[in-house]
Structures are given as structure tokens and as C-alpha cells.
Chain A
Amino acid sequence: AQSVTQLGSHVSVSEGALVLLRCNYSSSVPPYLFWYVQYPNQGLQLLLKYTSAATLVKGINGFEAEFKKSETSFHLTKPSAHMSDAAEYFCAVASGYNKLIFGAGTRLAVHP
């Protein structure tokens, strides 16, 4: 069965600092992996997705993620945080049963 673990429910960084949000997955089949962002009182917006092509995936707003099969990880990074990046971030894996399995989410705070 597929599952997703996001390490760190809260991450705080300074504006301009590196953002690293961790995601580890468990999957019995080659996974499709996703990162979504949610701003307060809004739905989820797709940041990027891995679908077995390039292992380094570039997304919107300067985010990227690297698929590492040996580590079963799909961590999200951004070189320089912006105040507008403050939001909730969800990692998800496609279950193969037409569903997405979500992690618990990581709240990113960006301070001046």
C-alpha cells in the first residue's frame, strides 16, 4: 500500500533562505508523486509532479523536487524563500486505485 510521510509539521525560514520540505513515500509500484500548496481558505494548487521522466522536477514559483528512489524521497526545495511562499504544503502519491494519498502537510512560515 502507498503512504506518504512529511517530516516536520512546521518549518520556519528567513526570507531569502533555502526552503527544504521533506517527503518520503512508500509504494509497491513506480510512483507518481506530487507537491501541492494550499493558501489559507483556498483549495490546493499543483506545484509540480513526478511521473517517471526526469528525476529532477521543476515546478512553479521557483520550486523543484528531486525523486530519489534509493531513499524513497521526493523533497521539495526552493533556493530563496519569499514572504509569499508562506503556506501549507502537501506531498502526495498516486495510489494506483484512482486516488491520491496525502501526507499530513507542512506549514511553511517565512519571516523577514
Chain B
Amino acid sequence: GAVVSQHPSRVICKSGTSVKIECRSLDFQATTMFWYRQFPKKSLMLMATSNEGSKATYEQGVEKDKFLINHASLTLSTLTVTSAHPEDSSFYICSARGPGLGETQYFGPGTRLLVL
């Protein structure tokens, strides 16, 4: 139980284009989803927290207009990297938690973004 998927697993795009990453909870209702960014050989950096049906709460230093987060249903959240640039290249990981799961977050497999 508590499986989270992400799509795509890898994406390469040109500078200036937008990329959408999907995060889905497959067997539970995710009332809260989290988006992280991970740099090579580094720990996870929380970008934002989203509650279903509400606007996302962004961490300090994360650009809201650049990283658009939507959590329109209890099983789906999306992260859109708008006007991507090479410095946005990174590993993006989502996680989710829901009723009955307590404080535990279950993580997706991650999305590797490369901006050329």
C-alpha cells in the first residue's frame, strides 16, 4: 500500500519551454503532497506543500511563478516548471501523505529534468 508514482521519469527540454511533472497516489487519498528538489549527492530540499483544493505553500526562496503547483484532486498533483533554464535541471521528487498514514510521507520515484 501507499504507492506514489511520477511521470515522466526523465525529460529533456529546450531552454524557454515549460515542463509538467505529474505525481499520483495510486492506492490512497493524498490530502497533502510535497515537492522536493534534489541536487547531485545532496539531501532533499522542500520546494512547496500543497493541500488538495488549496493553493500551494512555497518555501522561502522558491519562485511561485516559476514552479506552478496544482493539487486539484486527492490523487494528483502537478508541478510545472515554466520557462525552464539549464539551472532548473535537477531531480524532482514528490511525496504524499493522507488520512490514516499519520506523519509518514510516501515518495514517488522522481523525475530527472535536463534543460538544454
A residues apposed to B, CB below 8 Å = 32, 34, 36, 41-46, 49, 51, 90, 94, 98-100, 102-105, 107
Contact = CB atoms under 8 A, between A and B. Distances in A.
Given A90-B43, A102-B43, A42 B103 contact: no
B73 interface: no
Interface string B82-105: 000000000101010000001111
18 contacts: A32-B103, A36-B107, A41-B110, A41-B112, A42-B109, A43-B95, A43-B108, A43-B109, A44-B44, A46-B106, A49-B104, A51-B102, A98-B49, A99-B34, A100-B95, A103-B43, A105-B43, A107-B41
B49 A46 contact: no
Contacts of A36: 107
Given A43-B6, A43-B108, A94 B43 contact: no
Contacts of B6: 43
Contact of B110 (A42, A94, A100, A103): A42
B32 interface: yes
A99 B104 CA distance: 10
Interface residues of B, number: 23
Nearest to A34: B104
Contacts of B43: 90, 102-105
Contacts of B74: none
B32 A46 contact: no
Contacts of B107: 36, 43-46
A35 to B, nearest CB: 12
B110 A43 contact: yes
Given A43-B108, A104-B43, A105-B43, A98 B93 contact: no
A43 B6 CA distance: 10
Most central of A41, A90, A107 by chain B CB within 10 Å: A41
A51 B103 contact: yes
Contacts of B108: 43
B46 interface: yes
